[in-house]
Amino acid sequence: MANQNKEFVKEITPQSEDFSRWYIDVIRKADLMDYAPVRGCIVFKPDGYELWEACQRELDRRFKETGHRNAYFPLFIPESFFQKEKEHVEGFNPELPWVTEVGDEKLEERLAIRPTSETIIGHMYAQWIQSYRDLPVLINQWANVVRWEKRTLPFLRTSEFLWQEGHTAHATAKEAEEEQRRMLDVYTEFVETVLAIPVYQGEKTPSEKFAGAVCTFSLEAMMKDGKALQAATSHYMGQNFAKGFEITFLDRDNVLKHVYTTSWGLSTRILGALIMVHGDDRGLALPPRIAPIQVVIVPIGPQKDRERVLTHATNLLSQVRQAGVRVNMDAREDFSPGWKFNEYEMRGVPVRLEVGPRDMEKSQVVLVRRDTGDKEFVPEAQLQSRLSDLLDEIQKNMFVQAKQFQKENSHVVHSLSELVETLNTKRGFVLAGWCGDDACETAVKQECGATSRNIPFNPPEHLDTCVVCGKPAQHSVWFAKAY
């Protein structure tokens, strides 16, 4: 399927000129999405959806390896359910779409479209859990959810989005807290090693935690414009939802107790992070482990050699495919090699393999890396092992580059004026001391629009003094402008 939308984007706006424009240009030109005729909704086109499918495969395996099973709960949540956890209803109410009628009939009780499923899952768990023998319950759901956001941006913030939400119930606080941390680590491993995106692990401040949670952990990634993107969250609910929904169990000691619950989620907004962490002025750049196509073969050379080059390239294609590499060949005649080189660079394919008559004479091929642009000649006999190594090198290099960028753009500040100046003159995150008072957190936001991202588990420095009020700091906090 050729693509019309793409053609509107003649040139990608350089990142340095207008990062937001660059982002939209890239996702349109690479054909990842289209705007839908419903406010704030997008269509995930095949090239975009394929990236999400790859994320799903990787995460689903990890969830199952850690003992979770998938299930599916209803899209609709009765209005009364939202009243059962007070903070939860306040947090989500303004964003809820309501079904009020079916066909020509009014419903007796309005139904919300799920913004997240704690409530309906809590209702079911109350029926499923009776005894300590029923615990833990370890369930994940892949689903669409809806939050009617005011400002929307493709992938990053859309009215409807796709995600997974894990919901677990445990006999003790300790087990639930271990689960909360375990799943944050599962996300971290996936985001860092598969997506090559370095993150700061940490805890959200009370004002930024999930509505209804006791404690929220998050992964914060840094985009190339220095802004933060929350890549995943893992919540410890304590007994809040258990009490709201009466999820109780008879413990070994014969006492009826409320369970402890967690939930954790990662959504399609991660695709925005993937694009904004690795992309450049030439377009997308995909880490090999997530790239749907890892290698594209482009046969080159004059028309007279076309047939034998093609035969040879087709051979290489099946060799490389047999080695387990995701590879395609573009043998179209109506596009020049130069056009194809640009096209696959724009689409972020990690490696281009060129082969022409002169290469054939020398029994070699040309490999070109998307990440560095480096070109190398590889003897055909070594192609499989070299490709395998090269894909690993690219994966590692992309992480190292992103990590380097993260480090260079993470600043430690010691006063509010330094914080404001740093955020006004430099891109990135700032680490600042914080006394723990909401007012001081709000003050930072009012001064420069930066919000607290998280309280890192491993801060680069431990700061003594609150950056706003000068009282002793309880935490060192990452602040940044955020998506």
Residue closer to a copy of itself (CB basis): 14 or 74? 74
Q: How open is the CA angle 56-4-370, to the nearest 5 degrees?
A: 55
In the complex with a copy of itself, which residue's Cβ is closer, 34 or 393? 34
**Is the CB of 251 or the CB of 281 nearer to a copy of itself?**
251
Q: Which long-range contacts (CB under 8 A, 24 or more apart) does 197-201 make?
A: 197/221, 197/231, 197/273, 197/274, 197/277, 197/278, 197/399, 197/402, 198/222, 198/399, 198/402, 198/403, 198/406, 199/231, 200/429, 200/453, 200/454, 200/456, 200/478, 201/454, 201/456, 201/457, 201/458
Q: What residues between 162 and 191 interact with a copy of itself by CB under 8 A?
A: 162
The reply to whether 437 sits near a copy of itself by the rule CB under 8 A is no
Tokens of 398: 């992309």
Question: Residue 38 CB, nearest distance to a copy of itself (Å)?
Answer: 5
Candidates 55, 89, 120, 455; binder of a copy of itself (CB under 8 A) is: 120
Q: Does 111 bind a copy of itself (CB under 8 A)?
A: yes
Rounded Cα gap, residues 71 and 241, in angstroms: 19
By beta-carbon proximity to a copy of itself, the closer residue of 146 and 416 is 146
Which positions from 32 to 61 touch a copy of itself by CB under 8 A, shown as an x/- string? --x-xxx--xxxxxx--xx-xx--------
Task: Verify binding: residue 156, a copy of itself, rule CB under 8 A.
Answer: no
Cβ 324 to a copy of itself, closest distance in Å? 17
Q: Does 149 bind a copy of itself (CB under 8 A)?
A: no
Judged by CB under 8 A, does residue 270 bind a copy of itself? no
Candidate ranges 116-124, 175-183, 341-349, 456-464; the one touching a copy of itself (CB under 8 A):
116-124
Residue 78 contacts a copy of itself per CB under 8 A: yes
Q: State which of residues 5, 13, 193, 465 lies at the interface with a copy of itself (CB under 8 A).
A: 5
Give the nearer residue to a copy of itself in terms of CB position, either 147 or 227. 147
Residue with smaller CB distance to a copy of itself, 132 or 341 = 132
Query: From CA 211, how far away is CA 235, in angstroms rounded?
Result: 10
Dihedral Cα 374, 379, 380, 382, nearest 10 deg: -90
124 or 466: whose CB is closer to a copy of itself? 124
Q: What stretches of 279-350 show up as alpha helix (H) in DSSP?
A: 306-322, 337-346
Query: Which residues does 452 contact at the CB level (< 8 Å), separation at least 6?
Result: 204, 205, 207, 208, 434, 441, 444, 477, 478, 479
Instruction: Report which residue type is found at 47.
Output: D
Q: What angle do CA 333, 327, 156 make, to 5 degrees?
A: 100
Q: Residue written as tokens 């007070």?
A: 86
Question: Which residue's CB is nearer to a copy of itself, number 48 or number 301?
Answer: 48
What's the angle, vertex CA 138, arms to CA 134 and CA 140, rounded to 5?
140
Tokens describing residue 258: 């409320």
Q: In the complex, what is the shortest distance from the CB of residue 13 to a copy of itself, in angstroms, rounded to a whole number?
A: 22
* Short-list 164, 152, 150, 198, CA closest to 53: 164
Helix (H) or strand (E) holding 145: strand 137-146
Q: Which of 11, 17, 65, 104 binds a copy of itself (CB under 8 A)?
A: 104
Kindly indicate which of the ranges 69-77, 181-189, 303-311, 440-448 contains the residues binding a copy of itself, using the contact rule CB under 8 A.
Answer: 69-77
Among 144, 404, 417, 474, which residue interacts with a copy of itself (rule: CB under 8 A)?
Answer: 144
- Check binding of 79 to a copy of itself (CB under 8 A): no
Q: Does 246 bind a copy of itself (CB under 8 A)?
A: no
Q: 63 and 132 in contact (C-beta within 8 Å)?
A: no
What dihedral angle (degrees, nearest 10) is formed by the CA atoms of 377, 343, 305, 386?
20
Q: How far is the CB of 111 from a copy of itself (least distance, A)?
A: 7
CA distance 124 to 73: 9
**By CB under 8 A, is residue 71 in contact with a copy of itself?**
yes
Q: Closer CB to a copy of itself, residue 160 or residue 280?
A: 160
Site residues for a copy of itself per CB under 8 A: 1-5, 34, 36-38, 41-46, 49-50, 52-53, 69-78, 81, 93-104, 111, 113, 120, 123-124, 127-131, 133-139, 143-144, 146, 148, 160, 162
